Structure 1
Amino acid sequence: MDLKQLNAFIAVAELRSFSAAATKTGLSQPSLSRLLKQLETEMGVMLVDRYHRPLHLTEAGTFFYDKISTILTEVDTVVGMTQRLSAPSSALNIGFVPSILYGLLPEIIARLKQSNPEIEVNLKDISSYQQMEALKSGDIDVGFGRFAHQDPWIQQILLRHERYVVALPKAHPLANVREQRLIDLANNRLILYHQTHLPISTVPTRLGTLSSASAHKLPKQKNKHDGSSPESATTDQITEPLLYLFAQYGITPFMTTTVSDLQVALGLVAAGEGITLVPASLKTVRTEQISYQRLIHENVTSPIYLHTLKDFVHPSIPELLRATYHVYEQRGITYRRQKFESQR
C-alpha cells in the first residue's frame, strides 16, 4: 500500500468517476484503475462497487474513506510544515478578522516594519475559524482572531480583552446615555454578525458542563435585576457570542436578526433597524449615523488571540509579539507578556 494507491482511491471515492478521478490525479484511466485494483488486492477487500453509475463505495470502502482521508490530510499538513521548516519564507503572512484591523493592528504592523525594515508583511482578511486551516496549509503564518480554538496542530496566546460598546442609531432614545446596561437594551432588535461561534467546550456555566443538545437554547425568562452580577446558570451553553453576553445576565433580547458580517450589522444600525455590540475599536465607524456608548459591565469583553502552529513558529513572529506589546505599553493597555512554546 502506498500514497499513489491511496490518492487514487480518494479521487475515485470523491468524484465517483474513473475518468474524472484520472483527470484530477493526472493519471491515465487504466493506470488509475490498476492502482485501485492493487490496493483492493493488498487489502483483500472490495472498496468500490463498479457496477453502479455513478460508482458507489462498498460499506467497507465508505469506512476506509472516512478514516484514510483524515490521515492523508494530516500527511499533507506534515509534509507542508516540514517544507516550510526547512526553508521558511522571508515574508510573514498574517491573517486577521476585520474587527482587528479597526483596532491596533495597523499600529502594530507599522511598529514591526519600523524595527525590522527588511521584513515583508502580507495581510489576509480571514475568519477565526478559517485561520486554523490556513495555518496548516501555509496560507498564513500567524493569525489574529477573537475566539479560542481547540486544535492539536495549533497553539494560541491571549493578547488582551477589549471592552464591548453598544452601537445605537443616532435617533434612538438611549443614544445619549453614557453608561448602558444590557437589561435596558433587551427590548431592541439585536443584530448578530459573528461567523464563528463559541466552542461548546469553552463556554462556562455556574452549574457545570451541560449537554451539547442544549447548546443553542435561549434562556426562557428575563431576569429583571440591575445588571450588576452575572447569572451564568441561564446560559445553557449558548454559542452565539452576543447572545451569550446577554445570557450571562439572564437576559433574552426581544428580537434578533443575523447578518453576514460586522459591516452589514453596522449598516443596519445606521439605518435604524436595530442595535448591536461591537469591540470598542469599532467606535469610529459611521459616527454620523451611529452613537457608541459604554457598557457598565466590565466582563462584557471580546478577547484577542494570536494563533500559530505548535511545531513551527515563523522566525518573524517573536518580532511581531514584541511590536504588539510595545504598542500596548504606549497605549497603557493591560496585558500579560507571553511567548509561544517553541520560542522558549
Structure 2
Amino acid sequence: MELRHLRYFVAVAEQQSFTRAAEKLFIAQPPLSRQIQQLEEELGVQLFERGSRPLKLTEAGQFFYGHAQQLLAKAADLKSMTQRISHVEQNLVAGFVASTLYGMLPRIIYSWRQQYPDIPITLHEMSTTEQISALKEGRIDVGFGRLRIEDSLVRRIILRTEKLVVALPPGHRLAGSVEALNLADVVDEPLIIFPNKPRPSFADQVLSIFADRSLKPERIIEVRELQIALGLVAAGEGISIVPNSLYGMLRNDIHFMPLNDPNAVSPIIMSMRQHDHSENLHKLLEIIYSLYDKAGIAYTRENV
C-alpha cells in the first residue's frame, strides 16, 4: 500500500464518483479504477458499494476513509516540517502568547540577538493552539505558550510554572485587606477572562482552577486579550486572574494581590517539532536556563 493509493481512495470517496475523482486527480478513469481494485485486493475487503449512485462507502470503507485522511494529513505535515528543518540553522522563528511578554521572553530574545547576531530571530504572536498548527506546517520553529496540548508530532518542555495573582480595581474592598487572597474571596466578583477565542485558551485554564476547587464565578466577562481585561479591571468592571509577571507593572489604576493557593499556577511551555534537535533550539534552551539561574527562578532542566 502506497500513499498514492490513499490519495486515490480519498478522492473517490469524497467525489462519490470515479469519473469526477479521475478529473480531480488528472488521470484517466480506467487506471484509477485499477488502483482502487488493487487496494481492495490488498486489504481483502470491499471499500465501495458497487452499483450505488452516488458511490457509497461500505462500513469497512468508512473506517478506512477516516484513517486514510489522518495518514495523508500526517504525510503533509511531515513534508512541511522536513522542509523547515533544512532552513532552521539560518534563522529562528518563534510563536508566543501575549502574556509571556511580561515575563522573561523579552530578555530571552534580547540575549539571543546579543549572542547570535548572525542568526535572525522572528517573533509572531499566536495562541498555543495556533502554535501547534504552525509548528506542523513549518511556519515556526518554536512556540512559547501556557496550554498543555497533546500532539504526537509536537514535543513540549515545561520551562517553569508561574503563580497567578488577582488584578483588582483601585479602591476595591479587598485591595490590601490581607496579604493574600483565596479564590473563594473573589468568586462573587465579575470575573474577566481572556482570550475569548480561539479556545481552549488561558481563559479555560483560569476557569478550571475555579472548578477544581468546586467554585463557580458569579458572572463571567470574556474579552479578546489581556490589555482589554486590564482596562476593564481599571474601570471597575470586575476582577481578573493574571500571571504573576504582571505584578510589577507600573500601573496605579490596578491593584495586584497574590493568591493564597500554591496550585493556582500557569505553566510556561516551550513547544517544538517532535524530532527537531537542531543546534538553534539547543542554544535557545541554554540561554533560557542561564537567565533563569541569574534570576533565581526554579525550573527543571531538560535537553532538546
Normalising by structure 1, we get a TM-score of 0.73
Give % identity: 38
Deviation at 1:104, TM superposition (A): 1.4
Are 1:140 and 2:140 counterparts? yes
Q: Distance in 1 between matches of 2:89 and 2:56?
A: 43
CA displacement 1:76-102 (0-9 Å, x = unmatched):
233344444556451111111111122
CA 1:270–1:17 in structure 2 vs 1: closer, same or farther (change >3 Å)?
farther
Correspondence 1:10 to 2:10: yes
Q: Distance in 2 between matches of 1:119 and 1:20?
A: 48
CA deviations 1:110-154 (Å, max 9, x no partner) are: 001111111111112222223223222212211111122333322
One-letter code of the match for 1:278? V
In the superposition, relative to structure 1, how do residues 251 and 19 fare at CA in structure 2: closer, same or farther (>3 Å)? Answer: same
SS at the partner of 1:293? Answer: strand
Q: Which of 279, 294, 314 is the aligned partner of 2:258?
A: 294
- 1:108 deviates by 0.4
1:212 equivalent in structure 2: none
Given that 2:5 and 2:36 are in contact with CA atoms closer than 8 Å, whether structure 1 keeps it comes out as: no
Match of 1:255 among 216, 219, 224: 219
CA contact 1:270–1:286 (8 Å) conserved in 2: no
Partner residue of 2:200?
196
**Residue 240 of structure 2 is aligned to residue 244 of structure 1:** no
The 8 Å contact of residues 46 and 61 in structure 1, kept in 2 or not, is answered as yes
Which runs of no fewer than 5 residues in structure 1 stay unpaired? 199-238
| Contact kept in structure 2, 1:18 and 1:32, CA below 8 Å | no
- Residue 41 (1) aligns with residue 16 (2): no
Decide whether the 8 Å contact of 2:8 with 2:36 is kept in 1.
no
Please give the alpha-carbon distance, in whole angstroms, between the structure 2 residues aligned to 1:266 and 1:22: 56
Distance in 2 between the 1:192 and 1:265 partners?
Answer: 7
Aligned to 1:120: 120
Q: Residue 140 of structure 2: SS of its match in structure 1? A: coil
Aligned to 2:173: 173
Once the two structures are superposed, residues 249-300 of structure 1 have per-residue CA deviations (whole angstroms, 9 ceiling, x without a partner) of 4433222233444344334323322211010223466935432222232332
Q: Deviations over 1:33-73 (max 9, x none)?
A: 45542332221535388723xx7555444322101111122
- Whichever residue aligns with residue 41 of structure 1, its letter is Q
Alignment partner of 1:51 out of 41, 50, 53? 53
What letter is aligned with 1:127?
S
Question: What is the alpha-carbon distance in structure 1 between the residues aligned to residue 168 and residue 22 of structure 2?
Answer: 57
Q: Hey, what's the Cα distance between the residues in 1 that align with 2:249 and 2:7?
A: 49
Where 2:66 maps in the other structure, the secondary structure is helix
What is the alpha-carbon distance in structure 2 between the residues aligned to residue 121 and residue 5 of structure 1?
A: 40
- Matched position secondary structure for 1:167: strand
Look up the SS of the partner of 1:149 in the other structure.
coil
Give the whole-Å Cα distance in 1 for the aligned partners of 2:34 and 2:233: 62
Q: Is 1:308 the equivalent of 2:304?
A: no
1:339 to partner: Cα distance? 1.2
Show structure 2 runs of 5+ residues with no match: none
Letter in 2 for 1:40: I
TM (normalized to structure 2)? 0.81
Map 1:63-82; keep pairs closer than 5 Å.
63-82=63-82
Which AA in structure 2 matches 1:65?
Answer: Y
Q: What residue in structure 1 maps to residue 95 of structure 2? A: 95
Q: CA deviation at 1:22?
A: 7.2
Alpha carbon RMSD of aligned pairs, Å?
3.2
- Aligned residues between the structures: 294
Distance in 1 between the 2:114 and 2:121 partners? 12
Residue in 1 that maps onto 2:188: 187
Q: Are the equivalent residues in 1 in contact too, given 2:84–2:139 (CA < 8 A)?
A: no
1:271 to 232, 235, 239: 235
Structure 1 segment 303-342 matched on structure 2, within 5 A: 303-340=267-304
| Conservation of the 8 A alpha-carbon contact between 2:88 and 2:280 | no
Gap change, CA 1:34 and 1:83, over 3 Å in 2: farther
In structure 2, the CA distance between the partners of 1:264 and 1:58, relative to structure 1 (3 Å rule), is farther
Q: In the alignment, residue 241 of structure 1 is paired with which amino acid? A: Q
1: CA distance between counterparts of 2:161 and 2:28?
A: 53
**Secondary structure in 2 aligned to 1:111?**
helix
Report the residue type matching 1:37 in the other structure.
S
Q: 1:14 to 1:133 in 2, by over 3 A?
A: farther
Letter in structure 2 aligned against 1:196: P
